[in-house]
């Protein structure tokens, strides 16, 4: 199938970043994106949390913030799609502009600040879609909320029956105080409440919905150990590693580097992959990990698998390479597995964890 994105990208890059993003979502909703069906590669199929993933490559949260186009995005070859972040009440997020391209660095900076239509509209949009595939829901607190835990519990109750899995987002750098929820004491309180509520919901619904925790790359060694212990103690189903970074090391685009917000793309690859290996070791490989940050090729996807990821997510690569990247990365990943004598992706998970320091 011909890839039209190299022709369209210069036109999209003439538009403001958020305008271009809305245009792509509009095209997806209207069925204007050529489908890129998921390839049938047995070596990449996995069953995790009782869910059957046709391949390990998913769409990261933040792309389809309001669950407008989950069905259309599943048709782009993803093994799963994560929608959101959604908050209990509608909120506008931060003032525009709040999304910035850094082409020289193959990166973007965003400071959306959990702009959300709120859980009622989000839920209605999600229910209108057939969801013929795994659709996750990424949930977050309202900016002005006085009780973060109650926000997460409210959202958990609403989306537990509908979601393929739920991601607890406590690691965005764009909501004041949010990352403090990763700290000792606050994290335990949150995870304890989430675990108890999820168990009650599983009994009520007869459905086990995995609950994942998304963490930041900018954490201390003590934070890493603390999060790993808490994840094991409170039965977190999985960790997504990682959210965007506040670091600006080595960027070529020094003008855009001054923008506030979270950085994603190629500069995030090394720190997020290093953290992935560390968390795999700290959890003893007992908690499935989702590797996110800087995946543009099968080589980068494979590096995250070998550091401990069972699944993967991308976002920034779509801005620079289009949706054809999904099928290409899966093909390249399959070739690399075969090259190294692995007959299934599960055999490669964690093969390098703790052994090497990943370079840029």
Taking a C-beta distance cutoff of 8 angstroms, is the pair 66, 91 a contact?
A: no
Question: Facing residues of 262 across strands?
Answer: 110
75-134 pLDDT, tens digit each: 999 999 999 999 999 999 999 999 999 999 999 999 999 999 999 999 999 999 998 899
In a domain, 358, yes or no: no
In a domain, 337, yes or no: yes
The H or E element spanning position 198 is helix 186-205
Strand, helix or coil for residue 86: strand
pLDDT the model gives residue 1:
62
Residue bearing the bigger pLDDT, 200 or 354: 200
Taking a C-beta distance cutoff of 8 angstroms, is the pair 311, 261 a contact?
A: no
In a domain, 352, yes or no: no
142-176 pLDDT, tens digit each: 999 999 999 999 999 999 999 999 999 999 998 98
In a domain, 224, yes or no: yes
Question: For the residues of 265-301, what is the DSSP string, one character each?
Answer: EHHHHHHHHHHHHHHHHHTTT-S-EEEES---SHHHH
pLDDT the model gives residue 51:
98
Choosing from 116, 125, 145, 172, the catalytic residue is 172
In a domain, 67, yes or no: yes
What CATH number should be reported for the domain holding residue 259? 3.20.20.70
What pTM did the predictor assign? 0.96
Residue 191 gets the label, from left (phi > 0), alpha (psi -120 to 50) or beta, of alpha
Provide the residue range defining the domain that includes 77.
Answer: 5-347
In a domain, 38, yes or no: yes
**Count of domains observed in the chain:** 1
Question: Is the pLDDT confidence value at 305 over 50?
Answer: yes
In a domain, 356, yes or no: no
**Count of helix runs (H) and strand runs (E) in the chain:** 11, 13
In a domain, 354, yes or no: no
172 is known as an active-site residue: yes
């Amino acid at each position: 199938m011909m890839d039209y994105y190299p022709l369209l990208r210069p036109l999209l890059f003439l538009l403001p970043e958020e305008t271009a993003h809305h245009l792509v979502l509009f095209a997806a909703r209207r069925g204007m994106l050529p489908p890129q069906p998921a390839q049938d590669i047995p070596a990449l199929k996995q069953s995790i949390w009782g869910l059957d993933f046709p391949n390990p490559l998913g769409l990261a949260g933040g792309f389809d913030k309001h669950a407008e186009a989950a069905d259309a995005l599943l048709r782009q070859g993803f093994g799963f799609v994560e929608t959101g972040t959604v908050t209990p009440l509608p909120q506008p997020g931060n003032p525009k502009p709040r999304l910035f391209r850094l082409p020289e660095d193959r990166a973007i900076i965003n400071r959306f600040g959990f702009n959300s239509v709120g859980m009622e509209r989000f839920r209605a949009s999600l229910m209108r879609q057939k969801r013929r595939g795994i659709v996750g829901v990424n949930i977050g607190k309202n900016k002005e909320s006085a009780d973060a835990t109650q926000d997460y519990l409210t959202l958990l109750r609403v989306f537990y029956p509908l979601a393929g899995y739920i991601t607890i987002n406590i690691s965005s750098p764009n909501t004041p105080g949010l990352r403090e929820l990763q700290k000792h004491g606050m994290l335990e309180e949150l995870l304890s409440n989430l675990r108890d509520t999820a168990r009650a919901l599983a009994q009520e619904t007869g459905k086990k919905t995995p609950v994942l925790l998304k963490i930041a790359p900018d954490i201390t060694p003590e934070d890493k150990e603390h999060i790993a212990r808490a994840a094991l103690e409170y039965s977190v189903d999985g960790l997504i590693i990682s959210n965007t970074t506040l670091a600006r090391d080595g960027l070529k685009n020094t003008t855009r580097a001054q923008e506030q917000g979270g950085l994603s793309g190629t500069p995030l690859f090394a720190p997020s992959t290093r953290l992935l290996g560390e968390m795999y070791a700290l959890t003893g490989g007992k908690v499935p990990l989702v590797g996110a940050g800087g995946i543009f090729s099968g080589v980068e996807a494979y590096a995250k698998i070998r550091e401990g990821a069972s699944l993967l997510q991308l976002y920034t690569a779509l801005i620079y390479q289009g949706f054809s990247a999904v099928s290409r990365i899966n093909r390249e990943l399959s070739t690399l597995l075969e090259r190294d004598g692995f007959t299934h992706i599960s055999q490669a998970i964690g093969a390098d964890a703790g052994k090497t320091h990943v370079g840029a």
